[in-house]
Structure 1
Amino acid sequence: MNLTDTLCRAAALAAALLALAGPARAAEDFSPAERALFMTNHLAGTKPPATLRYSFSKSGSMEEAFDDQVAVKLSARRDGKCCMASADFLSGARKLALPEVDEAQGNPAVLYFLERDIREMNRLTKGQQNYFRKRIRMAVYQGAQIDDVSVSYRGKTVAARQITIAPYRDDPLRVRFEKFANKQYVFTLSDAVPGGVYAVRSRIDGETADAAPLIAEEMLLDGGVAATRKP
């Protein structure tokens, strides 16, 4: 691939990530979940250079399980402020090519997780990536549940917010991918942890209540505690 192709692909992915974060709207039109996920300066107080490290795990009955790593690298902008961001998202054949974010405020790990997830939904269902982006945006805007929770970080209990969405539960087109329609996403945010993002999880339940999940994925900040795996 030549440099022009590389730059075009990077620009296309950057545009896709911006689309996932949502269209420009008046400030009062954003939901609390949108503000928390996409409009909060998660990197406030971060002194570059710094690296946010996450573990990534995939399990479930549908495909082979694996464990891998994510590193979000933060460096100073030209004005010395935080932050320019780049990422090593997974490794080897699973590695996701990602553009650098020039003026990151929100932790880009959230958008990177979702972008990979959308590509996986496209692979599994043959549905359009833009359709999945739209459903996620709509769920964050009007269907999110927000709960105050406590999590363990490096042996200490800290306050956090948990945002849960189910983008396809009420989807009129769910019959096209019924096996995956119960998919749920859980975002755990905390001001008490570096980068503000403690974990992002997704889960597709099995066909019966006691069945193992078809697919369960988790991106967890180094120093956090993995979610308890349900059957």
Structure 2
Amino acid sequence: MRHFSVFGAAAFACALFAGSASATQEPQAADILFERPQLEKLKGGDRLDYSYSFKSADPSLFGPAFDDRIGLRVEPGDGPDKKKVEVEMFSAERRRAAGPFEDMSGNPLLSLMLEENLQRLAAIFQANPRYMKTAIRLALRNAKATPEPSEGFGDAPGWRVEVAPFKDDPHKARMHGLDTLTYRFRVSEAAPGEITEIAISARDAKGDVLFEETTRYAGKH
């Protein structure tokens, strides 16, 4: 069974943004994505559902297209502001081993989806996952959050964080188009769990999509 370890949710957030500046009024990606108590409004037994879609221009390389779902079930943690999060990562034959995550205040979905993407690309291209992780870490550390309306939540404010970690990579000529990888995150305090979208895509020299994977908030029950 495959476990999610390279981007371990709590440890990843601490290591990723240790020492990041948050004194300015303009929000940083670290504050929006990793440092907010995204689960505080949820109670024991709440379940968050997310839709997942994967598409590619070359199924023989990236794998076949598919649609699936991800479920997070929240239970009380050891502290008043902490939660235990159980994960259903895809269904049937695509099921991944993930979690449970103990004593969480942030939503582990972001780390889960970064890990899923990283492991897929590392396996396909025999890339060093730690090299890729470092590039993503640096890009997010330096990113700003852009305000935008929250789709599906009326006029509630939201934020978008978008980075292209490999666009200036010194090895991009050997990256088979992965230098165009773009990571887009949308969040809103109005959404249960706050994360509303995680979209990852890469394009070829003509601008056509090589592959894209999109995870979206699909409801709470």
TM-score, normalised with respect to structure 2: 0.85
1:221 is the counterpart of 2:212: no
Structure with the bigger RCO (C-alpha within 8 Å, sep 6+) is: 2
Unaligned runs of 5+ in 1: 1-5, 224-231
Pick from 156, 159, 168: which aligns with 2:157?
A: 159
Taking the aligned partners of 1:171 and 1:14, their CA distance within structure 2 comes to 21
Unaligned runs of 5+ in 2: none
Match of 1:227?
none
Alignment of 1:1-231 (within 5 A): 13=5, 16-18=8-10, 20-23=12-15, 25-26=18-19, 28=21, 32-63=28-59, 64-79=64-79, 82-142=82-142, 144-153=143-152, 156-209=154-207, 211=208, 213-223=209-219
Q: CA deviation at 1:97?
A: 1.1
Q: Report the CA distance shift for 1:29/1:131 in structure 2 as closer, same or farther (over 3 A).
A: farther
Say how many residue pairs are matched.
211
Match of 1:229?
none
Taking the aligned partners of 1:19 and 1:44, their CA distance within structure 2 comes to 19
2:166–2:179 CA contact under 8 A, matched in 1:
yes
Deviations 1:60-107 (A, max 9, x none): 312221100000111012456541012111123322211211111110
Sequence identity of aligned pairs in percent?
A: 21
Taking the aligned partners of 1:111 and 1:181, their CA distance within structure 2 comes to 21
TM-score, normalised with respect to structure 1: 0.82
Q: Report the CA distance shift for 1:13/1:28 in structure 2 as closer, same or farther (over 3 A).
A: same
Taking the aligned partners of 2:135 and 2:10, their CA distance within structure 1 comes to 15
Structure 1, 43-52 or 195-204: larger mean CA deviation:
43-52
Structure having the higher helix fraction is: 1
Q: CA deviation at 1:178?
A: 3.5
Which letter does structure 1 place at the counterpart of 2:214?
Answer: E
2:7–2:111 CA contact under 8 A, matched in 1:
no
Structure 1, 75-84 or 116-125: larger mean CA deviation:
75-84
Secondary structure at the counterpart of residue 32 of structure 2 = helix
Which letter does structure 2 place at the counterpart of 1:193?
Answer: A
1:162–1:188 CA contact under 8 A, matched in 2:
yes
2:8–2:111 CA contact under 8 A, matched in 1:
no
CA RMSD of aligned residues (A): 2.4
Q: CA deviation at 1:113?
A: 0.5
Q: Report the CA distance shift for 1:78/1:34 in structure 2 as closer, same or farther (over 3 A).
A: closer
